Structure 1
């Protein structure tokens, strides 16, 4: 997992706007790192007390930085989504639109199915009030649409689907792969999805 940068993940509401002391910054970073692992494994179901235990801090420390579990989840998932958006945007000018599109598709399917928090976010679970996450998802959809249209124009992706179809397929695949015992099928599921998105008669 990528190291946590407190500045990059500074998204959730705080009880105070004063600058954090050095020890408080370290504690906040530890909480975020533990939360990334915990949410990736268990999604929103993980208790804040368990995150505190993994971070090696008291529950009060967690609550001082993140007054609710939703606030902490938002900080973690927003960082993940932001990185995904930047990755998709970096592929937008690729010389080969087809491989760029399928590379992003692979990242979405394998990344979300391997991280329950990202799967939850893509599915919209318990995120009705998370405006920043909604905005990040919108950016991800827009970036994905650019890649899809370029691949379609190049004849590398079938032309009878749109971005809503694509995101529904990705969400369905990632949620299915989150079921017990299904992780080993990730490559096979991606291959079926990839082949189904290619124009009829085209492979490789």
Structure 2
């Protein structure tokens, strides 16, 4: 197990999610309900949200959610044929980044924000495995607002069941080691009415 995740498991701060070929930890109460609600309202109003198109199997589609990209000075971030415009850190994002770095022991120079407006917004199966993230990227995911189901499936072992984690408001999910090489993740649409949810995925872009 990754030394950082092992340390959290020992301290009780992070619950280890036991999956083969992965290093995943989860802190359900990373932020209190009050803290999470304050950040949710602040980020809803302050973030430069955009609706973007991506390439999927050679065709353009509108992303079923809003996104925004913030980080240190450097190049923009690209995936699925989309290049995101970088915005400078806001005070709120720097506060959250500091808290995530303190508990994870890792430095992050960028964050991708996703706004799931209601039950119709989602993200399909994918891995955060772009070359600029490195071979074994550490991805720290903070959830605010509506609880949504986060699903994981192994790329090469279909006999393994899909794993689901309920990402509640104020939770932190840390994915490290070989997770992105062997596992994909998704957040499906829901049949029941859902309130807005903001997800922040902190990462380190090599070369910045």
Does TM-score exceed 0.5, indicating one fold?
no
TM-score tier by shorter-chain length is under 0.3
- Bigger strand fraction: 2
- Taking structure 2 as the reference length, the TM-score comes to 0.25
RCO comparison, higher one (Cα < 8 Å, 6+): 2
- Taking structure 1 as the reference length, the TM-score comes to 0.25
- Bigger helix fraction: 1
**Bigger Rg, which one:** 1
